[in-house]
Amino acid sequence: MTPLTIALTGGSGFIGGQIARMLVARGAHVRALSRTQSGLENGILWIKGTLEDEDSLARLVEGASIVIHCAGAVRGRSARSFQIANVQGSRRVAQAACNSGTCERFLLMSSLAARHPELSWYAKSKHDAEQEVLRVAGTMGITIFRPTAVYGPGDRELRPLFTWLLKGLLVRLGARDSHLSFVHVFDLVAAVAHWLGSPITKSAIYEISDGTLGGYSWKGLAKIAADIRAAPVRSLAISTTVLRTIACANFAISYMVRRAPMLTTSKVNELTHPDWTCSNTAITVATGWIPQIKLRRALQEGLF
């Protein structure tokens, strides 16, 4: 059988990097967008370009029957910066895929945050990106993944939280009775693999987590860590007011160090939202995917 040609954006990132490795292992011809490199490396043909450059996107998707759009901004200092990368960028990738005439199915790596566009600049941009991709879909089957917080090898955002937790300190953001959810990057990549092997649907949106019923409470996280450590875990509650103050300082520092900030006052609303639980039922029914890695196991086995 002729190998599939799959175009990927975000292949140099945390999640996209893991997807790229899975695609190569499955024998696909992988073409991946990169802002820095070009040429063949580790079975991936890197196409130099950006989400802003329509010519490079046209080269990226040329001859691809599947396009996986995983690039995106997760940090930014204004609503506009998120709109440019996530909304306009997604529209350009989808338009290029549609124009190629070869793309049958398109996967957008959105976020569970898209469920609440009112919460943050990031959430709104992921929501609007979904709308843009669906708008320019043409004859392509569009699938949208909405993963919750993703962790695993290569992640820099959740790793400190889990490291402190295993050292006996739980840093609690938001309300005491919040419900959080997580998904391991290996499970998310497995979901992409299942999607590749399932029939094309016109359009579908799938929320994705590790399947823990009711999600994780702060107390539940502390309990998991205490069991693994066989020692108590202290809880340090950071109030929303303090978090906002830290966010303001972080915002100012980001100008000085010329780096896009992760923690902004806009992001605080998202971090302190009380319910990030979701259901995997739709994706399991459609693709047969079932997550395998619960947080307890990942922390126990150092899979983060």
Ligand X SMILES: NC(=O)c1ccc[n+]([C@@H]2O[C@H](COP(=O)([O-])OP(=O)(O)OC[C@H]3O[C@@H](n4cnc5c(N)ncnc54)[C@H](OP(=O)(O)O)[C@@H]3O)[C@@H](O)[C@H]2O)c1
The residues binding ligand X (CB under 6 A) are: 10, 12-16, 33, 35, 50-52, 70-74, 85, 89, 109, 111, 126, 147, 149-150
> Which secondary-structure segment (H or E) carries 109?
strand 105-109
Closest CB 65 distance from ligand X, rounded Å: 22
Closest CB 2 distance from ligand X, rounded Å: 28
Name which of 5 and 148 has its Cβ closer to ligand X: 148
Collapsing DSSP to helix, strand or coil, 251 comes out as: helix
Alpha helices in 87-173 (DSSP H): 89-100, 121-135, 159-166
Name which of 15 and 64 has its Cβ closer to ligand X: 15
Residues in the chain: 304
Task: Output the CA torsion 205→207→208→213 (10° steps).
Answer: -150
Name which of 47 and 66 has its Cβ closer to ligand X: 47
- Taking each helix axis as running N to C, give the angle between helix 218-229 and helix 159-166, from 0 to 180 degrees, rounded to the nearest 10: 50
Give the residue among 178, 96, 171 at the shortest CA–CA distance from 133.
96
Closest CB 74 distance from ligand X, rounded Å: 5
| Cα 28 from Cα 200, distance rounded (Å) | 18
Name which of 64 and 73 has its Cβ closer to ligand X: 73
Closest CB 71 distance from ligand X, rounded Å: 3
CB-side neighbour CA atoms (13 Å) of 165: 25
Closest CB 235 distance from ligand X, rounded Å: 23
Name which of 40 and 230 has its Cβ closer to ligand X: 40
Give the residue among 183, 192, 76 at the shortest CA–CA distance from 126.
76
Closest CB 232 distance from ligand X, rounded Å: 29
Percent of residues in the chain assigned helix, strand, coil, to nearest 5? 45, 20, 35
Name which of 33 and 225 has its Cβ closer to ligand X: 33
Residue number, nearest CB to ligand X:
13
Collapsing DSSP to helix, strand or coil, 151 comes out as: strand
